[in-house]
Structure formats: structure tokens, C-alpha cells
């Protein structure tokens, strides 16, 4: 009999832990099911109410099952107005959820979110530049392109500030993010004040508040592939992220190419956050709150956490956007305002609950 540190008695092997596959499977089934139900609700409600039965048959007919029972006007509203919005809000939420999960893992800090380290404000400056110069009206591709460049630049800057000899200081990272964010915020404000065009001003302010009321089918076709690719890349290195969250040294000693994985994640998180910001404006707290809640339920394993944060973020933003459409009906609340109204108190709750503990929960 081999030595046992306890020696005298053996403890029973008891665990409540569920296998990775099972957690993924059950989580995806629950969140996916809720998303489908929510999509039917979202496609039905609004100033122009459509019966659930009509919506359901229309959605089923779109995936090739049966015939739509809806009237042509209802079909047109579902297909060209509500469905793109459902898709985009879901995928933007998914992007924010997964990139929040990436940030929290990468920075070993559960208080990290894409906005906190300056990616959102960078994206905003990019978008503002595109709007102010009128480039956004030239081609629908310019706005996301500029927002993406802005996100990438601000993220790289914060990283450069916080990295010391290839390692990251958490405090410097957060302070650097705050500094870069306020600098970029100043640029955005300056552009708003200095521009003479009232339409441009309005467009920027509207854009910053975040929302999906201008969503078109074309936006979905550009944004969704980028978000899906970025998300898949990060899921590809999810296991490596687990080790990096434990410690960089241990990750490297267990065969992870830390610098490569980190850069890959930075690029993919930047890509999907930038894309999300570009097509929806700034939507606060989804990236912070969703991975948090998902972690509480399924644990910290990124192989489960990242995919479910994407689904959870998508579902959350779909719900929030639907709520934003109906709470002040026929007027509309910007969804970015709504998520901040829910997210900020939740953030405070987390701060109080975790207190000194920086990672974990």
C-alpha cells in the first residue's frame, strides 16, 4: 500500500462535480431552448402585435418546416424588421458574454470586462470618427471597420502600459484601462462638441447609448460571421485558458504556449468586442455580469464557461432588447441604458459580496 498523507483513514470519493460534456450539453439545451422561446416572444411583441401562432409558423417556415399562417404584413415585419434585430441582439450579447469571459480569465480578475480595459471606448472613438467624417454613409463596412481598429488600438495600448517583462500587473491594467478610457471618452466628447452637424451629434449620442433600432439584415450578415469565428477561436484555446488562470508558469510547464494563446485571445476578444460595439454602440455590463452568473452555476472551466457565456449573453441581450422595445411602447428605451440600469446595481452587489477577493466567487 502506497503512502497516504492522511494515513489513518481514507476519505470517501464524493463529488458533486458534473463532467464537462454534461455541463455543456445541459447548459446549451436550457439556454438554447429559452433563446428559441424568447425569439418567438420577441418576434411577436411590439407596437404591431403578432399572434404567437403566426410567429411560430413563420419562423418554422423560414427553416423549411411547414407553411406560415401569418398575413403578408406580419411576415414582412418578422422577416425584415424583427428577425435581424433578434439575431443581432443575440449575437452581440453572445460576443459581449464570451469576450467578458475571456477578459476575466485572461486578466485573472472577475471584475474585468471589455469596457473596463478600454476596448469599448476605443471602438466608440473609431465609430465616432467614421460617423463624423461621413465615411459611415459611404459604405456600411466603414463603421465596423473603424470601430474594430479603435478597439484593437486601445486594447494594445492598455496592454503595453500594464506589461512588465512579459507579465501583467492587474492594478496597472485596470488603472491603465481607466486612463485610456477617459482619454478616449474626451476625444468622443470633443468630436460631439466640435461638430456643427446636429445630425452627426444626434447620431453619435444615439450610437453611444447602444441599441438595435437601426438594425438591418446586412448588419447581421457582416457581424454574425465575425462574432462566430472569434468565439470559435477562443473556444479552441479554452483549455489553455484554464491553465493560464491557474498560473502562467504552470500553464507553460504543462505545454501551453502562453504568449501565443494570449495574443490569439486578445485578437479574438478585440475582434468580437469591436464588432459588437460597432453594430450596437456601447452596451454596458453584459460582459461583466453574464460570465459571472454562468461561472456561479457551471464553474470556472473555460471549456464550459465560454460557450455558455456566449449563449447566456445572447439570451440576456435578446431579453433586454425586447424589454427596451416594449417598456415605453410605443416609444423605445435604448438597450444600453437598460443593461446599465440592471448591470450597475448587480456590479455593486458583486463588489460587496466578493470584497477583498479579486478572483473567484
Partner 1 sequence: MSVSDLVNSEMSAAEGMPVDRPVLRVEDLSIGFDGVTVVNSVSLDVRRGEVVGMVGANGSGKTTLLRTVAGLLTAESGEVRIDGLLAAQSRSSSAKVEISNSERARKMAYMPQLAESHPFTTLETVLMGRYPHLGRFELEGSADREMAWRAMERTSVVEFADRKLDTLSGGERQRVVMARVLVQAAELLLMDEPTASLDLRHQILTMDLVREEASERNVGAVVILHDLSLAARFCDRLVLLLEGRKIADGTPWKVLTPENLRVAFGVEGLVEPDPVTGKPHVLLLGTENSGREDLVGAGRTVHLICGAGSGRALMHQLRVAGYTVTAGVLGIGDSDREAAERLGIEYVGAPPFSSVTDDQHESHLKLVEAADHVVLLPMAVGMNNVRNVEAALVSSNLLVIEPPGAGGGIGDDVVGDYTDGMASRLRRQMIERVGEIPESTLLFELARGAL
Binding site for partner 1 (CB under 8 A): 2-7, 10-17, 19-21, 108, 110, 236, 239, 242-243, 245-247, 249-250, 252-257, 295, 299-301, 303, 357, 359-361
- The least CB distance from residue 104 to partner 1, in Å, is 10
Nearer to partner 1, 39 or 294 (CB): 294
- The least CB distance from residue 12 to partner 1, in Å, is 8
Nearer to partner 1, 41 or 229 (CB): 229
Distances (CA, A) of 303 to 70, 209, 240: 41, 32, 9
Nearer to partner 1, 216 or 252 (CB): 252
Please identify which residue in the block is written with the cell numbers 468622443: 188
Nearer to partner 1, 84 or 101 (CB): 101
Please identify which residue in the block is written with the cell numbers 477583498: 356
**What is the spatial distance between Cα 108 and Cα 33, in angstroms, rounded to a whole number?**
31
Cell of 352: 460587496
- The least CB distance from residue 66 to partner 1, in Å, is 36
Cell of 189: 466628447
Specify the DSSP class assigned to residue 359: S
Nearer to partner 1, 203 or 248 (CB): 248
Helix (H, G, I), strand (E, B) or coil at 300: coil
- The least CB distance from residue 128 to partner 1, in Å, is 37
Distances (CA, A) of 317 to 107, 148, 180, 276, 280: 24, 21, 27, 12, 11
**Of 117, 114, 62, 122, whose CA–CA distance to 93 is shortest?**
114
Nearer to partner 1, 236 or 349 (CB): 236
- The least CB distance from residue 24 to partner 1, in Å, is 9
- The least CB distance from residue 11 to partner 1, in Å, is 4
Amino acid at each position: 500500500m502506497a503512502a497516504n498523507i492522511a494515513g489513518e483513514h481514507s476519505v470517501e470519493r464524493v463529488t458533486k462535480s458534473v463532467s464537462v460534456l454534461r455541463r455543456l450539453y445541459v447548459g446549451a439545451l436550457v439556454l438554447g431552448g429559452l433563446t428559441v422561446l424568447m425569439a418567438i416572444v420577441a418576434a411577436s411583441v411590439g407596437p404591431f402585435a403578432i399572434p404567437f401562432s403566426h410567429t411560430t409558423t413563420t419562423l418554422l417556415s423560414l427553416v423549411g418546416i411547414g407553411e406560415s399562417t401569418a398575413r403578408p404584413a406580419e411576415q414582412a415585419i418578422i422577416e425584415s424588421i424583427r428577425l435581424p434585430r433578434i439575431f443581432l441582439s443575440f449575437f452581440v450579447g453572445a460576443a459581449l458574454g464570451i469576450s467578458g469571459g475571456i477578459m476575466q480569465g485572461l486578466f485573472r480578475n472577475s471584475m474585468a470586462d471589455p469596457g473596463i480595459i478600454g476596448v469599448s471606448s476605443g471602438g466608440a472613438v473609431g465609430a465616432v470618427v467614421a460617423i463624423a467624417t461621413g465615411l459611415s454613409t459611404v459604405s456600411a463596412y466603414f463603421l465596423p471597420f473603424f470601430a474594430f481598429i479603435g478597439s484593437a488600438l486601445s486594447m494594445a495600448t492598455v496592454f503595453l502600459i500594464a506589461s512588465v517583462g512579459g507579465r501583467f500587473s492587474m492594478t496597472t491594467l485596470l488603472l491603465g484601462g481607466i486612463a485610456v478610457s477617459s482619454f478616449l471618452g474626451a476625444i468622443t466628447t470633443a468630436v460631439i462638441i466640435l461638430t456643427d452637424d446636429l445630425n452627426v451629434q444626434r447620431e453619435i449620442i444615439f450610437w453611444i447609448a447602444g441599441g438595435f433600432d437601426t438594425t438591418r439584415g446586412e448588419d447581421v450578415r457582416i457581424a454574425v460571421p465575425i462574432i462566430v469565428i472569434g468565439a470559435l477561436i477562443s473556444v479552441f484555446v479554452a483549455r489553455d485558458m484554464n491553465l493560464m488562470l491557474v498560473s502562467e508558469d504552470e500553464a507553460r510547464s504543462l505545454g501551453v504556449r502562453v504568449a501565443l494563446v494570449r495574443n490569439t485571445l486578445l485578437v479574438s476578444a478585440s475582434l468580437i468586442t469591436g464588432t459588437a460595439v460597432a453594430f450596437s454602440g456601447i452596451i454596458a455590463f453584459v460582459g461583466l455580469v453574464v460570465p459571472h452568473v454562468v461561472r456561479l452555476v457551471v464553474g470556472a472551466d473555460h471549456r464550459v464557461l465560454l460557450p455558455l457565456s456566449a449563449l447566456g449573453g445572447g439570451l440576456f441581450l435578446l431579453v433586454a432588447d425586447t424589454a427596451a422595445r416594449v417598456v415605453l411602447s410605443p416609444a423605445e428605451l435604448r438597450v444600453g441604458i437598460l443593461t446599465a440600469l440592471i448591470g450597475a446595481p448587480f456590479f455593486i452587489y458583486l463588489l460587496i459580496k466578493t470584497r477583498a477577493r479579486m478572483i473567484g466567487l
